[in-house]
Amino acid sequence: MSNSAADRAFDALRAAIVEGELPPGAPLTEVEQATRLGVSRTPVREAFARLIAAGLATERGPRTLVVSEIEPDDVTALFELRVALDEQAARLAARRSSSDQSSADFAELAARFAAVDAATLSADDPHRHGYYALVAEFDAALDESLSSSPYLAAAIKSTRVHLARVRRLARDDDDRLARSAAEHGAIARAIADGDPERAAAATRLHLHEALTSIHAHLPRSGDDTKERP
């Protein structure tokens, strides 16, 4: 079906952009991507429109489409939003953990984050999919705890594709990933303990450290040196 093909094309292109296979500024053409994805040009055209709407692609002319650049100011604005959303999410998750089964889930996540170190990271694949899969489990547990706050959950989900894209810039920095794991673990432990303000404070610290690291890895405008995909 056309819609199904368009969904697959969009998902594949979004993943390629997030993973860095299609880096910022890379041209996007219907013929090339249709051939690469094994679909006709129509679903690719629909996928391109969705990429533009999601802020992942930019039109540079009537027939020129490129992967959107990642500008330092845009990253700062994204994290300003995340501070408001993620701190509140952590508070709510901690308040609700004492009355349901999520406490045990977050305690397990905290233990798994504590096990992340240089050795486990070096044993992962070059793109560190194992580590990011653990982060995705944390995100899923947080989403589950926000089931009675659908607007907050939806707002957080809308930022994740951009977050995944920018935080991949630090994927070769295992020291940073190990510290990030410890920060995630502190958030998970505070939620498991039912401590809303400690969970919010741990989240705030993590966001500050993540933003600092991302800015250190982010190429400046006009810099021809791109991060490796």
- Please write the tens of the pLDDT for every residue from 109-152: 999 999 999 899 999 988 888 999 999 999 999 999 999 999 99
Higher pLDDT, 178 or 219: 178
Q: Strand ranges (DSSP E) for the chain?
A: 27-28, 57-61, 64-67
Residue with tokens 């810099």: 223
β-sheet with 27-28: strand ranges across:
27-28, 64-67, 57-61
pLDDT band at 171, cuts 50/70/90? low
Lowest-pLDDT choice from 73-77, 140-144, 168-172, 198-202: 168-172
Neighbours of 55 (CB within 10 A): 12
Task: Give which of 173, 169, 175 is closest to 218, Cα–Cα.
Answer: 169
pLDDT digits (tens, 9 = 90+) for 179-215: 999 999 999 999 999 999 999 999 999 999 999 988 8
User: Is 92 within 8 Å of 149 (Cβ atoms)?
Assistant: yes
Q: How far is CA 114 from CA 19, 37, 58, 214, in A?
A: 25, 39, 40, 22
